[in-house]
Amino acid sequence: MVTVAQLVQNVLTEGNFDATEPQALQWLSRRHELICARSKCFRKNLEVGPTVAGTRSYAVPAEVVEIHEVQVTSSPETGSLGVPYGAAKHSDIAEGALGYIWLGGLYLAVGGGIYTRGYGATGEDKLSLYPTPTENGLQIKVFAVCRPEDLTVGEDAGLKIPPEFADALVSGAIATGLSRLEARGDLAAEHESRFAQACDELRGQTAKRFRGSGPATIRVIGFNA
């Protein structure tokens, strides 16, 4: 099993850097965040809210990179599942207020709506819902790609990538060291390339994990059979 301490030693030893362990750890943390962001491999189910009647926008945790799904429970008593909200453009909120948005389906029966990401007056990350919730206490569940916490020696659970990509993480940190500490972009290029390849590979692996086979195709003779 790969540990954070091992990764730090690998960076210092294999990169032959005159750097401290905290510095190497910082390089690893940044690269860890980068590989997670590029590959979208670290995803979480988060709770945002609960709803407050008349409040449209809710703070999004700083760790969220990309929201893939939003569900809002239709009543405070509902269990873990909520009603999915559709992803919309930022301008849809304002257009919805003017009645330009039509919500169909089971909306009238079970609720639902759309969501967008926005920013508050001081730039804070917000999740906006339309229609504006009229009940208090409804759970807003968000399924999102997140960025991991900084790595800490001894807390190996903080590593959010599969162990087979640990070497690439070390390569990325070495590339950072070579570029920034030694100004040797030429030597860093090889390590940077390895890191980028690993990001692509992990993104592909992640995509396969979350991609279903899709709807079943019905073959119609003369049409698609």
State the residues that interact with another protein by CB under 8 A. Answer: 12-13, 16-18, 181-187
DSSP letter for each residue of 45-112:
EEEE----TT--EEEPPTTEEEEEEEEE-SSTT--S--EEEEE--THHHHHHHTT-----TTHHHH--
Residue placing its CB nearer to another protein in the complex, 77 or 186: 186
Q: Residue 21 CB, nearest distance to another protein (Å)?
A: 12
Q: Which two tokens stand for residue 12?
A: 């210092």
Q: Residue 186 CB, nearest distance to another protein (Å)?
A: 7
Q: Residue 11 CB, nearest distance to another protein (Å)?
A: 11
Residue placing its CB nearer to another protein in the complex, 162 or 185: 185
CA 204, CA 84: separation in Å to the nearest integer? Answer: 26
Q: Residue 159 CB, nearest distance to another protein (Å)?
A: 24
Residue placing its CB nearer to another protein in the complex, 17 or 130: 17
Using the structure block, give the residue that is written with the tokens 């396969």: 208
Residue placing its CB nearer to another protein in the complex, 13 or 134: 13
Q: Which of 9, 41, 63 is nearest to 173 (CA)?
A: 9
Start-to-end CA span in the chain (Å):
50
Residue placing its CB nearer to another protein in the complex, 167 or 182: 182
- Let me know: does 88 contact 100? Beta carbons within 8 Å: no
Q: Residue 194 CB, nearest distance to another protein (Å)?
A: 16
CA 45, CA 168: separation in Å to the nearest integer? Answer: 27
